[in-house]
A and B are shown apart, each in its own frame.
Chain A
Amino acid sequence: MLAFTVHSGLVAPMDRANVDTDMIVPKQFLKSIKRTGFGPNLFDEMRYLDEGQPGVDCSGRPLNPDFPLNFERYQGASVLLARENFGCGSSREHAPWALVDYGFRCVIAPSFAEIFNGNSFKNGLLPIPLDSDIVDRLFAAMYETPGYALTIDLERQVVIEPNGEEISFEVDAFRRDCLLKGLDDIGITLQSADAIRQFESGYQKTYPWLFHRLEV
C-alpha cells in the first residue's frame, strides 16, 4: 500500500454536505474488474456535461465549467476540502480508488461515513476530521487565496497552514500506523494465525452448524 508520511498539496473544494459514493464514482464504472483507472471518472456526473460510460476516453468529453475541479486554479490539487458526512452510501472501494487515481492523498471534512473512512486508509488516502468551524475557516482561506496549499504531517498528526500555524487532528492509531508504514493489514492479521486457529477450533465445537460447507 501507498505510505503516507508528510504531504503538501494544493487544496480544492467539494463544498457540499453528504457527498455520497454514487457522486464520487457512479455505478456504471463499478463494472470494471480492476483497481485502477477510475480517476478520469471521479465525480463524473458533476464534472462532465454528458453521461459517462465505462471504457470511453474522457479527454474529449464536455466539461462542466461550473464544477470547481475543472477550474484552472485547482488543477493538480491533492487535498480535498469537504463538508459533513463525506463518503456516505455504499461500501464501494472504488470511491477511494477514484480519489487516489485522480491524485488526491487527503480529504479534510468535519465527518466521514464509516465504511468510506476505513476504505480510504487501506488505499493510502488520509481522511482528516476537523471541527466544522475550522473547516469553514479553511474554506474561506482557500477561496480567498489562489494557490492555497496545506501540508499534512501524519506522524505528528497536524495540518500546517501556509502561515505556519498547526491544526492537530485525531485518527485511529492502528490505521495511522499502517498508513505511515504502508503496511498490508492482511500480513499483520496473519501474524495472529495461531490465535485464529485456536479460536476457530473451540468455536467449531460449540457451534458445529456454522462449519458445514454450503453445497450448491
Chain B
Amino acid sequence: MGKTLYDKLWDNHLVEQREDGTALIYIDRHLLHEVTSPQAFEGLRLAGRAPWRISANIAVPDHNVSTDRTERLAGVQALKDEVSRIQLTTLDDNCAAFDIPEIPLDDLRQGIVHVMGPEQGATLPGMTIVCGDSHTSTHGALGALAHGIGTSEVEHVLATQCLIGRKMKNFRIEVRGPLGLGVTAKDVALAIIGKIGTAGGTGFAIEFAGDAIRGLTMEGRMSLCNMAIEAGARSGLIAVDETTLEYVEGKPYSPKGDEWEAAKAFWSTLHSDDDAVFERELVLEAADIKPQVTWGTSPEMVVDIGGRVPLMSEMATDTARSGLKRALDYMGLEEGQRIEDIEPNVVFIGSCTNSRIEDIRAAAKVARGRKVAGGIKQALVVPGSGLVKQQAEAEGLDKILLEAGFEWREPGCSMCLAMNADKLSPGDRCASTSNRNFEGRQGFGGRTHLVSPAMAAAAAVTGRFVDVRTLEEMS
C-alpha cells in the first residue's frame, strides 16, 4: 500500500514506536519567539538541563515588537511598554545564555517567525518543524511536517530534540480547476473552514492537493497551510514540486552544491503515492469559491462576499442559536444583514497569514490611484519581515500605499493579536488579513472580519466590504 506525504514524513522521523501507541519523533527545526519560550528556558535551568542540539534552533522576536519606525530605530531598550520589553530582553538573554542563534530586533531579516523561517531557508522540505505557536502549520507548504506546540513541549524539544506524539489520520482536501480572478489562497482557506468547521480537521494532518493548489505560489500555499489550524488540524501539508524547489533554491540556509543535489533528489519523493489511503477526503471545485468575508467570532462563521449573515431560523440546535446570538451581539450585526452593507473603520493588512510580498502587491494593486475612504480611521500595512519590506519598497509599493492613505510599518505580528500598541478600540470594526476573529483578539471589544489582502484593500478604499472583482483593476 502506498504512503501519504504525511506517512512518509512521520516514518522518516520515527525514533521509537511504543506499545501504548505513542511514538518518539525526531525534530529537525525548532523556531522560538519571545512569548512561549521564557518558561521553557526557566524549566531547563531548574532541571539543570542543556539543549540537546543547538543547531536545530533559531529564535526571532516578533509578537511584542513595536511597528513604529521611530520606536524601532531606538532599539529594544527604548521600547515604551515595559512588560513587552522584559519579554524581549528575556529572549535575548536566554539565547545568549544557551548559545541559541537569534535574529535580533534591529536586523533586516527580523520578521514574524513563520515568514522568517521559509525566507531564510531555516525551514525546508522534508523537515519536522515545531514552534511554540499554533500557526507553525504554515511551514507545511514546503512539504514539511510542521505543527505548533505548547511551552512544556518547547522545553521538551530543547532538552531531547524529540516530541512524544501519536500518529494523526490523513485528510486530503482537493481543490479542482483554476481559481477565478481575484480569488486567493486566503479565500480557499476560509471556504474550507466554512465547510468543515473549526474542529473539522481535529486529529488529522490535512494535505491540500489538486490543480488549484498546484497553481498557487509558495506565498499562497503558506497562507493556506497557515489556516489549517483554524480548521482544527495541527498540520497542513502540500507536496513538493517545481514551485517548491524554485522557492527554496538559493535561500541563505538552503543546502548548497552537492548537498543541494542530494536534498533535491530526496525532496522530489515528498508527495503522496498514487495508491495512498486517506481516512477522509473532500473535493471542492475552485470555480465555486468566491472572495470570503467572516461575519462572526469564529473563522467558520464565513460567507461569500455576495452573501448575508445567517438567520436565527437557519440554526439547527440551541447551542448554535445561542452561539449565533452571541456572535451577532458582539459583532454589532443583525441576522440576515448583507455583507456588502457592513462598513469597517479599521483595515489591517499583515500577520503570518498575509504579509508576504505577494500580499503587499495585491493590496497595492487595489490601492493604486485610490484613496482610503473617509470612514476608515486607520489602515495599516505591516510587512511580515524586514526583507519583505525592503522588496516592497524596491518595487515602489510603499509609495502607492502611502499615497492612498495607508500607514507603512515595521515588521511584526502587530494587530493580528494586539500584544503591542497596534490594537482596536472597543466597537472598532476591522477588515483584517489575519487568521482569527475571536472576541477581543485584535483589541478589547474590537470586531474582526477576516478577508484576503485584496479584499481588505478594497474595503479600505470604498469604506465597506465590496467584491474586489468588481473594482476596475481586476477586470
Say whether B253 contacts A212, CB under 8 Å: yes
**Which of B83, B101, B127, B133 touches A90 (beta carbons < 8 Å)?**
B133
Look across to chain A and name the residue whose beta carbon is closest to the beta carbon of B122. Answer: A214
Q: Is A61 an interface residue (CB 8 A)?
A: no
Chain A residues with Cβ below 8 Å from B178 are none
Name B198's contact: one of A27, A85, A174 (CB within 8 Å): A85
Contact partner of B326 (CB less than 8 A), chosen from A16, A173, A199, A211, is A16
| Distance (whole angstroms) from the CB of A38 to the closest CB of chain B | 11
Given A119-B152, A199-B26, A185 and B198 touching (CB < 8 A)?
no
> Which of A67-75, A149-157, A159-167, A186-194 is near enough to bind chain B?
A186-194
Which of A20, A33, A54, A208 gathers most chain B CB within 10 Å? A33
Distance A23 CA – B418 CA, assembled complex (angstroms)? 14
In the assembled complex, B276 has its CB within 8 A of some CB on chain A: no
A79 to B466: give the CA distance in the assembly, Å: 46
The answer to whether the Cβ of A14 comes within 8 Å of any Cβ in the partner chain is no
Nearest B residue to A112, CB-CB? B202
Tell me whether A34 and B39 are in contact (CB under 8 A).
yes
- Contact pick for A93, options B36, B166, B266, CB 8 Å: B36
Against A, the Cβ 8 Å flags (1 = close, 0 = not) of B420-433 are: 00000010000000
By a CB distance below 8 angstroms, the chain B residues around A15 are 322
Q: Are the C-beta atoms of A210 and B39 separated by less than 8 Å?
A: no
Q: Are the CB atoms of A118 and B259 closer together than 8 Å?
A: no
Cα A106 to Cα B55 in complex, Å, equals: 39
Q: Mark A183-216, 1 if CB is under 8 A from B, else 0.
A: 0111011101101100110010001111111111
| A92: B residues at CB distance < 8 A | 35-36, 150-151
Once the chains bind, are A173 and B20 in contact (CB under 8 Å)?
Answer: yes
Evaluate contact between A210 and B441: CB separation under 8 angstroms.
no
Which residues 24-76 of A sit at the B interface, judged by CB distance below 8 A? Answer: 26-28, 30-35, 45, 51, 54-55
- What is the distance, in angstroms, from A41's C-beta to the closest C-beta of chain B? 12
Instruction: Please classify how large the interface on chain B is, using the bins under 10, 10 to 19, 20 to 34, 35 or more.
Output: 35 or more
- Assess the B134–A90 pair: CB atoms within 8 A: yes
Contact of B15 among A32, A185, A195, A216 (CB under 8 A): A195
Query: Contact check: which of B202, B266, B436, B445 meets A114 at CB < 8 Å?
Result: B202
- Is the C-beta of B440 less than 8 angstroms from some C-beta in chain A? yes
Tell me, yes or no, whether B247 is within 8 Å of chain A by CB: no
Shortest CB-to-CB span from B44 to chain A, Å, is 9
Closest residue of chain B to A121, judged by CB? B152
* Given known A17-B319, A18-B323, A213-B101, contact A189–B24 (CB-CB < 8 A): yes
A83 contacts B by Cβ under 8 Å: yes
Which residues 66-86 of B sit at the A interface, judged by CB distance below 8 A? 83-84, 86
Instruction: Return A54 CB to nearest CB of chain B, in Å.
Output: 5
B444 touches A45 (CB 8 A): yes
The residues in B between 344 and 372 inclusive whose CB is less than 8 angstroms from any CB of A are none
Query: Is B101 a contact of A174 with CB atoms below 8 Å?
Result: no
B263 at interface, CB cutoff 8 A: yes
Q: Which residues of B contact A16 (CB under 8 A)?
A: 319, 322-323, 326
Q: Which of B318-335 contact A (CB under 8 A)?
A: 319-320, 322-323, 326
In the bound complex, residues from chain A placing their C-beta under 8 Å from that of B87 are 31, 33
A115:B418 contact, CB within 8 angstroms = no
Are A33 and B36 in touch, CB under 8 angstroms? no
Q: What per-residue 1/0 map shows which CB atoms of B48-63 lie under 8 Å from chain A?
A: 0100111100100001
Please tell me if the beta carbons of A189 and B162 are within 8 angstroms of each other in the complex.
yes
Name the A residues within 8 Å of B402 (CB-CB). none
Bound complex: CA A214 to CA B124 (Å): 13
0/1 interface trace, chain B 310-321, chain A, CB 8 Å (1 if under): 000000000110
Identity of the chain A residue whose Cβ is nearest the Cβ of B95 in the assembled complex: A216
Contacts of B133 in A (CB 8 A): 90-91
Measured CA separation A123–B259 after assembly (Å): 42
Q: Are A209 and B16 in contact (CB under 8 A)?
A: no
Q: Are A122 and B150 in contact (CB under 8 A)?
A: yes
| Contact in complex: A209, B259 (CB < 8 Å) | yes
- Does B292 lie at the interface of the complex (its beta carbon under 8 Å from any beta carbon of A)? no
B384 within 8 A of A: no
Across-interface contacts of B102 in A (CB, < 8 A): 216
Q: Is the CB of A210 within 8 A of B28?
A: yes
Q: Does B159 contact A (CB under 8 A)?
A: yes
Given contacts A23-B438, A195-B16, contact A33 B39 (CB under 8 A): yes
Per-residue interface assignment for chain A, residues 69 to 99, with 1 indicating a CB less than 8 Å from any chain B CB and 0 otherwise: 0000000000000011100111111000000
Q: How far is the CB of B343 from chain A (nearest CB, A)?
A: 24
Give complex CA distance A215, B133 in Å.
23
Distance in angstroms between the alpha carbons of A208 and B26 in the assembled complex: 15
A196-B29 Cα distance, complex, nearest whole Å: 15
Q: Considering the chains assembled together, what is the distance between the CA atoms of A210 and B58 in angstroms?
A: 13
In the complex, B216 has a CB within 8 A of chain A = no
Shortest distance from the beta carbon of A115 to any chain B beta carbon, whole Å: 6
Q: Mark B197-231, 1 if CB is under 8 A from A, else 0.
A: 01100110000000000000000000000000000
8 nearest A-B residue pairs (beta carbon): A209-B255, A33-B38, A119-B150, A93-B150, A91-B148, A122-B152, A93-B151, A51-B444
For this complex, 17 residue pairs linking A to B, each with C-beta atoms less than 8 Å apart, are A16-B319, A22-B440, A23-B440, A35-B42, A51-B444, A91-B133, A115-B149, A118-B150, A123-B152, A174-B18, A185-B164, A186-B155, A189-B162, A192-B162, A195-B16, A210-B29, A214-B55
Chain B residues with CB under 8 Å of chain A are 15-16, 18, 20-22, 24, 26, 28-29, 35-36, 38-39, 42, 47, 49, 52-55, 58, 63-64, 83-84, 86-87, 90, 101-104, 107, 120, 122, 124, 126-127, 132-134, 136, 148-153, 155-156, 159-162, 164, 166, 198-199, 202-203, 232, 234, 253-255, 259-260, 262-263, 266, 298, 319-320, 322-323, 326, 417-419, 426, 436, 438-441, 444-445
